[in-house]
Amino acid sequence: MWGKSTKTNGKTAKIDTLIGQNSEIRGDVVFRGGLHVDGTICGNISADPDSGSVMSLSERGVVEGDIRVPNVVVNGAVIGDVYVTEHIELAAQARITGNVYYKLIEMARGAEVNGSLVHCKDDELASKQPQLEKAEPMLLEENDDS
């Protein structure tokens, strides 16, 4: 499972993070690299628009929140808007309740979008994508109570 690869737009992306089928995350997820979701995320998912990051949502996966990732493969359920700066693939079991903002889209027979499909140019997508705050490394201080 770890080190598994997913393919999008002719590129192969390594899966760095896996959210398992029996897992539920409540809160926002920010990642870099590859994210594969088999479980449920109740919160927004985002990656830096220039990172080339890839998210894949399996047929068992559910996201209740917005997705803001450069490359996305959806085969599960999304309740929220999806913002994709590079490529989105909607597989046969994809169910999106919300708007999809995209630059390049592939959609298989059977996929559903209950919302608008909005084609955007690069500059339009950038204005719809809030800039992610760069996380500063956390330094742990030793407590010297000797």
Average pLDDT value for residue range 14-34:
94
Has residue 52 been placed in a domain? yes
- Is-contact 48 32, C-beta < 8 A? yes
Average pLDDT value for residue range 82-111:
97
Residue-wise DSSP of 82-127: EE-SSEEEE-TT-EEES-EEESSEEE-TT-EEES-EEE--HHHHHH
Has residue 141 been placed in a domain? no
Has residue 138 been placed in a domain? no
Q: How many domains does the chain have?
A: 1
Average pLDDT value for residue range 111-134:
74
- Is-contact 39 20, C-beta < 8 A? yes
Mean residue pLDDT of the chain comes to 84
Q: How does residue 133 score in pLDDT terms, banded at 50, 70 and 90?
A: very low
Least reliable range by pLDDT among 5-9, 23-27, 37-41, 76-80: 5-9
Has residue 144 been placed in a domain? no
pTM of the predicted structure, to 2 decimals: 0.79
Please give the residue range of the domain that contains residue 43.
5-126
For the cut 50, the answer to whether the pLDDT of residue 139 exceeds it is: no
Has residue 143 been placed in a domain? no
Has residue 116 been placed in a domain? yes
